[in-house]
Amino acid sequence: MNWYDKLNQYFPIEEMKSKEHMELLLKDKGDIYHKDEGPHHVLMYVELDDFIFIDYLFVAKESRGQGLGKKLLQQLKEKRKPIILEVEPIDYEDTDTEKRQRFYRREDFTHASKIGYRRKSLATDKVNEMEILYWAPEGESEESVYENMKKTYNEIHTYKDKELYGKAYEDVTDVLTFQHDKGAITE
């Protein structure tokens, strides 16, 4: 099974980019968009000067619990940059969501509670809510995570969206929100 099929079988359709989109990112943005693949894993990530964004992390079911996910994250952590990722909120009817969240907590990821993320899927037209998790080696703020998520959304998630999907994703200001301490939400 190829890398895309592995991801496509594991991740919900609302979260998946098309294979064409991902291949175009690897080709056109190969300086920042990377694929690390092995027989039991696929890791797709963005590395910029000041942060890393994990687009997809897949570990084959038969290899879970053997430290492979931890090892892949450790390789990224060694770069000493904040690491950001999107994860589904816990759904108690889907035990995988709870396991994923528990795994990232064990790996010292923090929930960015001030960041809201709601994106309409171009594949299903369903609104998909995600939580933003981050690992901050230098104590980076949620506000910097928010700014980096906006950059990722604009440079990666929506890259050539009209050309690839026939329509555009929503504007970043409609997808990501930040709640300041006084309760005001900015876009």
Phi-psi region of 33 (alpha: psi -120 to 50; beta: other; left: phi over 0): beta
Distance, in Å, from the CA atom of 187 to the CA atom of 147, rounded to the nearest integer, reads 11
Please tell me the predicted confidence (pLDDT) of residue 61: 85
* pLDDT averaged over 10-residue windows placed end to end, the chain, 187 residues: 93 93 98 97 97 96 88 97 91 70 94 95 90 96 97 97 95 95 56
Q: Do 101 and 90 form a contact (C-beta atoms < 8 A)? A: yes
Domain boundaries, the chain: 3-186
Give the residue from 88, 122, 116 showing the smallest Cα distance to 103.
88
Q: What is the pLDDT of residue 101?
A: 85
Angle at 145 between CA 151 and CA 3, to 5 degrees: 65
pTM of the model: 0.93
Angle at 13 between CA 12 and CA 14, to 5 degrees: 90
Indicate the length of the chain as a whole number. 187
CATH of 3-186 given 3.40.50.1820, 3.40.1160.10, 3.40.630.30, 1.20.210.10: 3.40.630.30
pLDDT number for residue 182: 57
Strand-strand pairing, 127-129 and 176-179: unpaired
Output the pLDDT for position 1: 83
Helix (H, G, I), strand (E, B) or coil at 129: strand
- What pLDDT was estimated at residue 58? 94
122 phi, psi to nearest 5 deg: -75, -25
